[in-house]
Chains A and B, each alone.
Chain A
Amino acid sequence: MQPGVSLQRAGDEAILHDRVGGQAHVINATAAHVWELADGQTIDELATALATAYDQPIERVDPDVRRIVARFGELGVLTLEP
């Protein structure tokens, strides 16, 4: 996670505020959940955690997690380490 990024839950959505980048983004509940779990986790670990939380098979959750993490990367709020 990049420093200076905060999350506020808002109903079924959440607002991700990047104070350094001067941007705020509305994200859905699943993306908010991924954000809350993301720090220091691998994508596989994230998918496992989400699958457990939503009681879904990991195969179903994994593509969503990868898409969300990629989007966070595009927005510059999350750095993926090799």
Chain B
Amino acid sequence: MIASPAAVTTTGEVTLPARSYRFHGLAVDVACDVPVAAVAIDASFGAFALDPRPGRPAERQVSLTRSDGTYRLTDASGRVAFARTEQAAVVGLFDRVVRAVVDGLADRGILAIHAGAVVLRGQALLLAGPSGAGKSTLTMALMRNGASWLTDELAVIDRDGRTVLPFPRSLHVRPDTVTLLPELAPVLTRPRYDLGGGSEFSLTPADALVALGSHVAGPTPLGGVVLLHGTPGAGRTPHLAPVGVAVAAMELAHGAPAAAEDLDATLARLIPIVAGVRRVRLTVGDPGATAHALDDWLAAP
């Protein structure tokens, strides 16, 4: 989904067409005169595209402009940085959009954590782990097995500390993921984007419905925290082991941008959240077997 050019936004002396996105009430304008960057941002955040409303003041605004072969990036706080290559500019703009979203949601009391999240058996499951641990792959494997989708990247927990909100940024699919999940083969014909995680395809909510038979879930009570270990691999047997509150809170905090500002405050929020739900460390194996193992774990009394 490509958003229509929205309100005109002024950045310094340059006036650019802006695209607008809304994330749980937070409006973020992205002003960009570099077409490949605008397309890449839309490929990721098209599900949040906002109808243009000229004259509406921007809540958060980031921009990318090109002049004399140099790329100028401005974040939501007005800080300016420069990129020398178009690719660096694309990644820089994407990072600034994500930061604007995370900070804006934090101002609303919503906690963002780099983690996947799905709804299984009526409960939201957070899938946390370092980059490369297979958050997106497991998210999609669970979706293929009947889970509905909250996010594969940024889990957002509402201010009540219990409800996980949907954040259906397009799924970023690495080419090798298609080997593990053949249902994704049609995305191989799509353009690829490198938004800092290597060359990936974008899978929109509409694509996910077609390819994986899964839809975007609504706000759902948190039921479990899954700490990922290892990497997905065909034929490997998954293993689950219980994990304590402190370890779960610490590992979620590692993925929470707010922790970089105030770890104590972030832990104070996370500890009661994880204390009230099931927790497990999952050594990831074959995606299908791992999805079944998690379903069994959640079904157990």
Contact = CB atoms under 8 A, between A and B. Distances in A.
Interface of A: 6, 8-15, 17, 19, 24, 26-27
Given A8-B271, A11-B275, A24 B263 contact: yes
Chain A at the B interface: SS class: strand
Given A9-B271, A10-B246, A12-B244, 4 more contacts: A11-B246, A11-B275, A24-B250, A27-B246
A10 B263 contact: no
Nearest to A16: B246
Contacts of A12: 244-245
Chain B at the A interface: SS class: helix
A75 to B, nearest CB: 15
A24 B267 CA distance: 11
B300 interface: no
A15 B244 contact: no
B268 A15 contact: no
Interface in B242-301: 244-247, 249-250, 253, 263-264, 267-268, 271, 275
Q: How large is the interface on B (under 10, 10 to 19, 20 to 34, 35 or more residues)?
A: 10 to 19
Choose among B244, B246, B249, B271 the residue with the greatest number of A CB atoms under 10 Å from its CB.
B246
Contacts of B267: 8, 10, 15, 17, 24
Contacts of B275: 10-11
Interface in B24-81: none
A9 B215 CA distance: 38
B271 A6 contact: no
B264 A8 contact: yes
A29 to B, nearest CB: 10
